Structure formats: structure tokens, C-alpha cells
Amino acid sequence: MPVNLSANAISSINGGDVNSKPLVQVLDIKLIGSTQERYRLLLSDSVETQHAMLATQLNDRVKSGRVRKGSVIQLIEYICSTVQNRKIIVVLNMETIIPDCDVIGNPIGLSELDSVPQKQAPDMTSRSLPSINNNNVGAQYSARTSFTHGKTSSFQNQSNNTQSFRPTIQPPYQPPPNYKNHGAIMRNEAPARIIPIAALNPYQGRWAIKARVTAKGDLRRYNNARGDGKVFSFDLLDSDGGEIRVTCFNAVVDRFYDTIEVGKVYVISKGSLKPAQKNFNHLKNEWEIFLETTSSVDLCPDEDSSIPRQQFSFRPISEIENAESNSILDVIGVVVTVNPSVPILRKNGMETQRRILNLKDQSGRSVELTLWGDFCNREGQQLQEMVENGISPILAVKAGKVNDFSGKSISTISATQLFINPDFPEANTLRDWFDRGGKDTASHSISRELTPGSSKNEIRKSLAQIKEEGLGRSDKPDWITVKATISFIKTDTFCYTACPLMIGDRQCNKKVTKSGNSRWLCDRYLLQVQVQDHTGLTWVTAFQETGEEILGCSAKEMYMLKYEAQDDLRFVEIIRNCLFTEFLLKLKIKEEMYGDEQKVKITVVKAEKVNYSDESRFLFDMISKSHLR
């Protein structure tokens, strides 16, 4: 069956057409790009040809064979952009009409037509068109690209016969127009066409998107070889569900930081697109927008209900067990426990707050969620008050980070958003399950039992097994969890004095010695603790954060009580309150060199008092598993 391609489709697209949805044929496909796969097509309308770039979201059409050499396709969404002074069609959406077909017509590339010597003109030109000057010859050739192939062949054959020329009379020379003092040449200031976020690509010259701000990052300052700077970013969501991150630096921060508000809708244009840095950008978009001083950000005064306020992709807690470390995901669950907020000294010497809570869902699993910074005193405090009052709230976590340190857990990052008792269908389903008996269902914690390099049956161990199984003597450390009771704490060397000086944005923390009458300003825990269970006892070491989890106060407070206030009664009282208290201790076990001797060092990486309700559920779960065997 004969197929008719859309006449003059290539010329129309080059002229700015974006709505005709023409039928064209794919003459060639070439894979280009070393870091990112992109396909370049050669399209034909049976007369002309033009190169086109395929949007990366359509790469699977080529990989699956739905689009190949000879395919007749219909262009649904497309634009024509100028790249390095060459026009190229960017295909954003298309449909395959005929998967395989012979070449239709006799297409000629535009570059081939331009290569024809302009000094040779056929006899038919002077008969069919009025006399022209030499400056218009190129225009004639361009106008003749719509001729049929037969006429074009005749046109080219006659050009080789110099005797067929008839001289043309050139008009007298006229100087080019003088635009001096006629005013500035006006630029095209018409607003750019609004396109979906999914259609954005670096080959577009002018674009605009209309989207809602779903998240706004904090203003951060940095220092590198180029000097000091500042940066912030925000995330956008449009009515088609497309998401993209927008980043601003330095002077652009001053323009837009106070303008951008979460939940508002904006029209944004005149930014540049660069590949997204996936180490810092979790959105499902290969591009990221960088705003410039010439960029435009306009607030839409009217609410656009077609753009959702937020977009979630919830994962059951059971799937988090197999999620990659550092991956970003959405999760929703019922808050069953909330621990108090505790101060934590980060590696950079800055103090922050940390709060741990537990979520469970219908998958029969529970997971720890660690809140950092402002989340602890904002949403964390609200959740703690609700749980203490007997309310089990639903919590939706947008953009939580997966950690696999001593089991799988979730933690907040700067882009995380928390929603308490949201009005989502998923939240309503979860609430109905919990109220109908889900609250009494035992759940298996994927945070407390899973440890890197261990199987599920080898996670919870006894103290005797550390020696019996030779833990810590391999190249990599072993990570285990034990339930043990603190039986003794050394008080003569419970802390060390750390250097308080700042190196850049972090504290030194190296051990220092007292000099003269100067006072030490910073102290860190170095607790030597004896722990025991039903199988035996051992010594473990707890540093700053875990020392605070065990004693309940900072090393500096303890140092002041013992050496400054000399309040031995209060000091001893704090120590005694910890003795014979049962903890769940997550241990790192590694053999290290001490002088010429190798010794197994056991370090506490996390300590929490036993929650007997959770522990009972864990034991019941272990009993049920043993019966299944």
C-alpha cells in the first residue's frame, strides 16, 4: 500500500510549526554521547531530510525495535532548536505508524542542496522566474526544495550544460540599507510557550514551565578554590507529574530565595539545563535547572488545581530490606514509639539534635526513622506528645534516605518532608488496618536485626558467641546486636579532653593536655564499660554519642561535676543509675594492633534501653519462626 508522507513537513518544522503532527520517515539512527545515551535520527518527508534528536525518555523505542531505519512515524510533540548555528528537530513524543518500509520518494538533504554551485543556473530558471540578481540565487534554491524529484533531477542535469545559460541583466549596484539612527532592532519578546517538565532538554532555545514548589532547601554557604559562595535549591512539580530541581548560586540567590515559597505555583523561564547530580538530587529527572541573572520567575496569582500539591511513591517497609543504601524513597507508616531528642556532636564538630522513632505498616515489618536537626523539635516533639497521649499517628515521609548501618533504617535529609495524619488514600487505608487489629499485630524490625555481612539468623548474638565464633578476626569488622546489662563503668578515665579549635567548619577534637592554669573547654566520652548477659561478660568502649546514650548526659557535664564542682555524690549517682540497666547494644568488632600485639576491640555504635514491649514481640516472632522450622 502506498504511503504518503506529510508534504513540506521539514520546511514547516524549520519555519516554527509545532502543531501539524506530520508523518515522516526515519532514514538513519545513530547512537551518540559517551556519558549519556542519545539517539540522532535522520528524518525525511520524501523530499527533504533533517537531523533530529530523540528525547531520552523515548530511547526505549529504539532499543525495543519499535523505531528503526525505514520506520514511518508521526511526530506528536516536537520543537526545532538551533545548535551551533544548525537547526535540529527535538522529538519529545511520537508514534510508530509503519515499523518497516522502503525509502519513500527521493529525499535530498538540505546540505546537499546548499552545496550546488550558485554560479550555475538552469535555463528553466530564467524562463520560469523573473530576472533576479546574484544575491537571490540562494533563496531560489531554497524555494525549489518543494519540487518533485523528477524536476529536481532535470534541474541538476541542465546545470552541467553551460551552453544552456542565458545571460541575465544585473541591475545597477545599490548599497545595503543603512540602519543608523533608526533605533535598536527589536528582539522577539513574545512569551515562551509553556511545555511539560518532561519535555525539557538542553537543545531548546526558549522555554517556560508552570509548576508548583514542593520543597525548598536551606540556604547553604560554601568555600572552595574560587572563593566563598552561597547556594539553595527547590523542587518543582507540574500538572503532568514531571519533577525537576532548580538550583541558584550567589547573586541569583539574592534575587529568588525570598521569592520562592513552598506550595506556590510559578512560571519559570530563561534558565539553563545541565545533567542532574544524582549524588545530591533524588528526583526522577536527568536534568537540573540552573537559574541565571536573566532568568524569570513569575508567581501565578490564581491557584491551579490541576497541579498536585505533592507527589508520592510509597514503598512498603518490607521492600526497604532490599533497597540500596543511600537511596531516596517515600514511606508511610504508623508511629508506634518515639524516643526523646538527644544532642549529637557531628564529625565536623557541630552539635545537632537526633530523635529516633519506629514506624510499622501492613507488610508485617517495622523500621527506625531517625530525625535530625529541626525535625526533632518540630514534628518530632509533636509526634512524641501524641504517642504519650495514647494516639498512634500516621506519618508520611517524603524523600527519606536509606541507611544500612547495623540494619536498614530511614533518616531525614535536608530535602525530606514529613506529613502527620495526612489526608491521603494510603493514610486512610493504613489507619483502617491499624484500628481493626493492626496495632496488636507483631512486626519484625528490619532495623534492629539486619546487619551488613550477616544473615538474618545470625544477627542477635550472645556475648559468648563473640569469642566462640572468632568475630572481628577477618579483614572486615563484624556487626552484631546483643542484649546485655551494664555491670561496671570505669570512672578514672571516663573522658578525654578534646581540642576545641575550629578547622574550617569542623572542630579539631584531637586529645590535648592541660597547660598552666588554662581551662579545657571541650570534653568527649571514652567510656570503658563492662557488660554481661546469661552467657558471660566482656569489656566494650563507648565514645561520645553512645556514651551520652548510656549515661544520659554529656561528657562535659560529667567532667564539670567531678573536677570543677567536685560534686562526687551527684557524679556517683549518675553512674549508679546506669548500672544493672539492660540495653540493646549494637557492636562493631574488629581486631586491631596494640603495640606488637593484636587485640579484638569491641566498640558500641548504638545503645538504647530495652523496650520490653518491643522485645516481647521480637521473642514471640522468634518462637513462631522456630515452630515453622
The mean pLDDT of 68-94, rounded to a whole number, is 86
Q: What is the pLDDT of residue 170?
A: 40
User: DSSP strand E in 361-493: where?
Assistant: 365-372, 394-403, 409-411, 417-420, 444-445, 478-489
524-552 pLDDT, tens per residue? 667 889 999 999 999 998 887 788 888 88
Q: What is the pLDDT of residue 172?
A: 47
334-348 pLDDT, tens per residue? 999 998 888 877 666
Nearest CA to 46 out of 148, 156, 150, 153 is that of 148
The mean pLDDT of 56-75, rounded to a whole number, is 89
Using the structure block, give the residue that is written with the C-alpha cell 552539635: 351
**Burial code of 476-505, b = ≥16 C-beta within 10 A, e = fewer?**
ebbbbbbbbbbeebeeeebbbbbbeeeeee
Q: Output 433 or 161, whichever has higher pLDDT.
A: 433
In the structure, what pLDDT confidence band is assigned to residue 349 with cuts at 50, 70 and 90?
Answer: low
492-504 pLDDT, tens per residue? 776 655 555 443 4
Burial of 591 (0-12, 13-18, 19+ CB in 10 A): middle
Does 583 score more than 90 pLDDT? yes
* Contacts of residue 218, Cβ cutoff 8 Å, sequence gap at least 6: 232, 414
Find the range with the poorest average confidence among 9-23, 99-113, 418-432: 99-113
Q: Output 587 or 160, whichever has higher pLDDT.
A: 587
Query: CA 201 to CA 90: how far, in whole Å?
Result: 9
Q: What is the pLDDT of residue 179?
A: 45
DSSP 180-201: TTS-PPPP--SPPPB--GGG--
| Residue 487 C-alpha from the chain's centroid | 46
Q: What is the pLDDT of residue 142?
A: 37
The mean pLDDT of 17-36, rounded to a whole number, is 84
Q: What is the pLDDT of residue 127?
A: 35
In the structure, what pLDDT confidence band is assigned to residue 427 with cuts at 50, 70 and 90?
Answer: very high
Q: What is the pLDDT of residue 189?
A: 55
216-238 pLDDT, tens per residue? 988 888 888 888 899 999 999 99
361-412 pLDDT, tens per residue? 999 889 999 999 889 999 999 999 999 999 999 999 999 999 886 678 999 9
Burial of 209 (0-12, 13-18, 19+ CB in 10 A): buried
Distances (CA, A) of 229 to 248, 249, 447, 576: 11, 7, 39, 50
The mean pLDDT of 100-118, rounded to a whole number, is 65
Grid cell listed for 60? 526505549
Nearest CA to 329 out of 413, 246, 236, 389 is that of 413
Contact of 263 with 270, CB cutoff 8 Å: no
Please state the three-class secondary structure of 54-78 as a single string. Answer: ECHHHHHHHHCCCCCCCCEEEEEEE
444-499 pLDDT, tens per residue? 888 854 333 333 334 688 999 988 888 888 877 888 889 999 999 888 776 655 55
Q: What is the pLDDT of residue 190?
A: 56
Does 212 score more than 90 pLDDT? yes
Using the structure block, give the residue that is written with the C-alpha cell 546545470: 159
Q: What is the pLDDT of residue 119?
A: 37
Q: Output 132 or 89, whichever has higher pLDDT.
A: 89
Percent of the residues in the chain that have a pLDDT greater than 70, as a whole number = 76
Does 73 score more than 70 pLDDT? yes
Q: Output 540 or 138, whichever has higher pLDDT.
A: 540
Q: What is the pLDDT of residue 396?
A: 95
- Indicate the residue type of 165: F
Query: CA 217 to CA 416: how far, in whole Å?
Result: 9
Q: What is the pLDDT of residue 352?
A: 86
589-601 pLDDT, tens per residue? 988 877 777 888 8
Does 628 score more than 80 pLDDT? no
Q: What is the pLDDT of residue 525?
A: 63
Q: What is the pLDDT of residue 249?
A: 93
41-62 pLDDT, tens per residue? 999 999 999 999 888 888 889 9
In the structure, what pLDDT confidence band is assigned to residue 258 with cuts at 50, 70 and 90?
Answer: very high
Most confident region among 150-159, 287-296, 491-500, 513-522 by mean pLDDT: 287-296
Q: Output 181 or 583, whichever has higher pLDDT.
A: 583
Q: What is the pLDDT of residue 277?
A: 83
Q: What is the pLDDT of residue 505?
A: 44
Q: What is the pLDDT of residue 2?
A: 65
Backbone angles phi, psi at 425, to 5 degrees: -60, -40
Share the mean pLDDT of the chain: 78
Does 623 score more than 70 pLDDT? yes
